[in-house]
Amino acid sequence: MTGAWTVRLVAVSERDYEEVIRRSAQDFGPLQAGVYAQTLDLAIDALREKGPKTIGVREREEIGLGIFTLHAARSKRKASHFLVFRVLEIRTIEILRILHDRMDLARHISQAQEPPRH
């Protein structure tokens, strides 16, 4: 069943997404940036389909209660980013941040604790 979950990006994660693609285009060219955007979209789509039961989702209590991560690598595509999210209400996921593997996840999560955008 596709589209079983609603997935929203907060303002900070929307900026993260745009910045990741911008930097990818800058460092690797526009074609690779497009491929990487598709890779991130595949991870978001996986959450839409299976929510927190998506293969690879990890609960991250060391970051905060109710915080989960999903590495963006999907369908044999490599990636260097995590989706950091929480489950808000029945079948709704809020992506708090999109962060590089090398970033301190806990340090960057406090920036995403803002009201949901509609």
CATH number at residue 50: 3.30.2310.20
Whether residue 118 lies inside any domain: the answer is no
* pTM, rounded to two decimals: 0.84
pLDDT confidence band for 17 (50 / 70 / 90): very high
Distance between terminal CA atoms of the chain? 24
Weakest-pLDDT range from 19-28, 66-75, 76-85, 106-115: 106-115
pLDDT confidence band for 75 (50 / 70 / 90): confident
Has residue 28 got a pLDDT over 70?
Answer: yes
Has residue 114 got a pLDDT over 90?
Answer: no
Whether residue 1 lies inside any domain: the answer is no
| CA–CA dist 13, 95 (Å, integer) | 6
Task: Tally the domains of the chain.
Answer: 1
In sequence order, the β-bridge partners of residue 37 are: none
pLDDT confidence band for 62 (50 / 70 / 90): confident
Find the domain containing 89 and state its range.
6-112
Whether residue 99 lies inside any domain: the answer is yes
Give the model's pLDDT for residue 117. Answer: 47
Has residue 109 got a pLDDT over 90?
Answer: no
Has residue 108 got a pLDDT over 70?
Answer: no
Q: Are 108 and 1 in contact (CB under 8 A)?
A: no
Whether residue 13 lies inside any domain: the answer is yes
